[in-house]
Amino acid sequence: MNPLKLVGFKTKHLPRAYVNSSVRFHHEFSTQERLQAAKKAGWNVFQFPSEMLKGGDLLSDSGTGTLTAKQMAAMILGDEAYGSNYGYFKLLKTFEDTFGIANADSEIYFFHQCRAAEHALFTQIGGFGNSLKIPSNGHFDTTRANIENNKIKAIDFFSKKLHSPDHSTFKGNMDIDELEKLLKSDLDNIPLVYITITNNSGGGQPVSMENLQAVRKICDKYHKTFFFDACRFAENAWFIKKYEPKYKNKLITEIVTEAFKLCDGFTISLKKDGLANMGGALLIKKSAPVLKKHPELLNNLRDHQILTEGHPTYGGLTGRDIMTIVEGLKTVITESYLDSRIGQVHEFGRYLKERKVPVLEPFGGHAVYIDTDKFFADTKLKRGDFAGISLTALLLLKGVRLCELGAFAFGEDYPHNFVRCAIPRNKYEIQDLYYVADCVAEMYQQRKKIPKAIPVFGRNLTLRHFKARFELK
Ligand SMILES: Cc1ncc(COP(=O)(O)O)c(C=O)c1O
């Protein structure tokens, strides 16, 4: 008997890359209690108490993950010194190791989260002139808001393939023809070109290395600075490995460092692929073209950081947070983690699709996006009825929380109308996600009975999805 031959079979299911080392039990609430709470919250999912969610809280994958035992252990070593704490030096070294950018060749600014980094960067850039524009493959909502708050125009050049039914890969790519057209016509008004990996506003879709290289080439041609919004850099690298044949045998870490050679800097929320509950950063390479014309930028950013976040060596973070990021960045680039993480997201998507729920395909890395227009296509509900809000509101009663990112969050003319199911990292088992999918599928069966969501407060406010209140009628 050859024992290896005997166990050489493949199984339908694979184990996760981890086991639970600590769990938290749900509290019990009745549907009636959830109804009262939902009404009190004006049916706004952001205002609904998370304690009442028993199914799955898929509102966001940001800062919502479960820490690993190594992260918890590292927290104990967190050094809460005001200046030059122990973790700061570890974090600098981890950045160097992860992104392959030498500390000596860059300036790094830590912030409590990414939007604070965006605020600093775009406040400074806003001072460069009038009529500025920042193109992207798809700006995230806070990035857009921070850009526009500084009177800069945020432009999205989504891939034309995003909504094509062909399931082509890398639907997160930037439309480079549109980018070049803009650079030709408006060269002096473009301080930066941005690319979001993966493209959260564009269905969580990945960006290919080929597209990153093409954008770099165009930026070189027009002497432009190229930045990444790098929140999900490791998940993006996983897709490059899976979909771009040239990278099939490369390590994730090799793909990451190759990608980051192409940019002049990046902003990052460490609440995503930092696997931490809090944290953000801005890195600028000293070779960035923007510094030739604006060498004062680095010092101005440092002042901004000190005024708003604290000493540069803690940047709005506790020593404990810093230690979780150090450990998180090491874990996130391991292939077993990424296989398990993205495999779970894809299994959830497959299960939803099997139940006929219209979802964007192929699935991205951190979320499954329900196509709201298709979901309600054969009902009387129009975009202006904000049916995505109604769907997410009603699911609260089942203890499930999703996020509308479409007609209400971004306006009725926005090119996509999604309800996003974002999966927190290392938090749920597939059974929890099957429950969410069963609830969504059941709502899909009943779609003709779902009412309109009427905004009774906040319809005309900026960032209205965070603040509005609704009635369901
Ligand atoms: C692509 C992208 N950029 C920026 C941000 C902002 O990050 P933070 O929540 O840390 O401010 C997010 C957060 O969800 C994001 O998904």
Residues with Cβ within 8 Å of residue 257, at least 6 apart in sequence: 99, 100
Domain layout of the chain by residue ranges? 26-57+335-472, 70-332
* Cα–Cα distance for residue pair 467/119, rounded to 1 Å: 20
In which residue are the tokens 């122990």 written? Answer: 86
Asked if residue 234 lies in contact with residue 333, where contact means CB atoms within 8 angstroms, the answer is yes
Backbone dihedral angles phi then psi of residue 141, each to the nearest 5 degrees? -60, -40
Nearest residue by C-alpha to atom 2 in ligand 1: 140
Taking CA atoms, 156 is separated from 16, 50, 201, 415, in Å, by 36, 33, 10, 10
For the domain made up of 70-332, give the CATH fold: Aspartate Aminotransferase; domain 2 (3.40.640)
Q: Render pLDDT for 325-350 as a digit per residue (tens, 0 to 9).
A: 999 999 999 999 999 999 999 999 99
| 26-57+335-472 and 70-332 agree in CATH topology | no
The verdict on domain 26-57+335-472 having CATH code 3.90.1150.10 is yes
State which of 61, 136, 200 you would mutate to test the pocket of ligand 1, scoring each by most atoms of that ligand within 8 A of its C-beta.
200
Average pLDDT over residues 249-267: 98
Average model confidence (pLDDT) for the chain?
Answer: 96
Q: Render pLDDT for 8-60 as a digit per residue (tens, 0 to 9).
A: 999 998 899 999 999 999 999 999 999 999 999 999 999 999 999 998 999 99
Residue 202 pLDDT greater than 90, yes or no: no
Q: Render pLDDT for 442-463 as a digit per residue (tens, 0 to 9).
A: 999 999 999 999 999 999 998 8
Q: How far is the CA of 80 from the centre of ligand 1 (A)?
A: 26
Q: How far is the CA of 230 from the centre of ligand 1 (A)?
A: 9
Residue 162 pLDDT greater than 90, yes or no: no
Nearest residue by C-alpha to atom 8 in ligand 1: 114
Backbone dihedral angles phi then psi of residue 19, each to the nearest 5 degrees? -120, 160
**Could you tell me the pTM of the whole model?**
0.95
Rg over CA atoms, the chain: 22
Report the helix count and the strand count for the chain, using DSSP H and E. 19, 14
Q: How far is the CA of 7 from the centre of ligand 1 (A)?
A: 44
Taking CA atoms, 133 is separated from 136, 186, 382, in Å, by 10, 9, 32
Pocket of ligand 1 (CB under 6 A): 62, 113-115, 140, 142-143, 196, 200, 229, 231, 269, 271, 280
CA atoms within 13 A on the CB side of 427: 22
Nearest residue by C-alpha to atom 7 in ligand 1: 114
Residues belonging to the chain? 473
Q: How far is the CA of 300 from the centre of ligand 1 (A)?
A: 23
Q: Cβ-count burial of 340 within 10 angstroms (0-12 exposed, 13-18 middle, 19+ buried)?
A: middle
Looking only at the bridges linking them, the beta strands covering 265-269 and 367-371 are unpaired
State which of 140, 235, 463 you would mutate to test the pocket of ligand 1, scoring each by most atoms of that ligand within 8 A of its C-beta.
140
